């Protein structure tokens, strides 16, 4: 996998922020879209990035062709800390695929901007131990050449 990341992205894979085990038995691939390509590929180096306006600094997710605040077209991917807070969550117990174990679906708020939120999975803990207000940190799951941002409890 490291050679793949270096070949495609020109960076060494950051194994400290990688997750080997997917909580989902089946994970859909993102729709190919030039506006979101950076988001799904940028986790190769362990860094979460959001589209950011160079004029006003506003971060927009999902990405679009213009800044959601000032409508500038000068937007580009910029890194964030990956630190967040669980705003809401549910533990999915419905086995949509045979053998699927319960897993957490959550909305987290990123530290950099009050309204910067991401739907994700919380991993690395018992699903029943997740709580609103819990501090979490991004980690990436590589599947099909995409890097899915998941979150685990902050240490």
Asked if pLDDT for residue 10 goes beyond 80, the answer is no
Would you kindly state where each structural domain of the chain is located, as residue ranges? 2-153
Classify strands 59-60 and 49-53 as parallel, antiparallel or unpaired.
antiparallel
Asked if pLDDT for residue 2 goes beyond 60, the answer is no
CA gap 81, 120 in Å, rounded:
16
Residue owning tokens 């989902």 = 24
Stated pTM of the model: 0.87
CA gap 74, 15 in Å, rounded:
32
pLDDT (tens digit, 9 = 90+) per residue, 73-90? 999 999 999 999 999 999
- pLDDT for the residue numbered 153: 97
What mean pLDDT value characterizes the chain? Answer: 90
- pLDDT for the residue numbered 21: 84
Q: b vs e for 41-79, b when ≥16 Cβ sit within 10 Å of the residue's Cβ? A: bbbbbbbbbbbbbeeeebbbbebeeebeeeeeeebebee
């Amino acid at each position: 996998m490291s050679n793949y990341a270096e070949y495609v992205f020109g960076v060494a894979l950051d194994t400290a922020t990688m997750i080997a085990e997917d909580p989902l038995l089946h994970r859909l691939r993102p729709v190919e879209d030039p506006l979101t390509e950076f988001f799904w590929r940028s986790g190769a180096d362990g860094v979460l990035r959001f589209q950011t306006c160079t004029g006003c600094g506003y971060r927009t997710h999902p990405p679009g062709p213009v800044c959601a605040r000032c409508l500038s077209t000068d937007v580009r991917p910029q890194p964030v800390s990956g630190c967040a807070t669980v705003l809401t969550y549910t533990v999915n117990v419905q086995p949509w695929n045979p053998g699927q174990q319960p897993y957490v679906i959550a909305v987290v708020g990123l530290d950099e901007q009050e309204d910067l939120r991401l739907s994700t999975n919380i991993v690395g803990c018992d699903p029943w131990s997740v709580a609103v207000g819990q501090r979490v940190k991004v980690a990436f799951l590589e599947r099909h050449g995409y890097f899915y941002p998941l979150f685990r409890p902050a240490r």
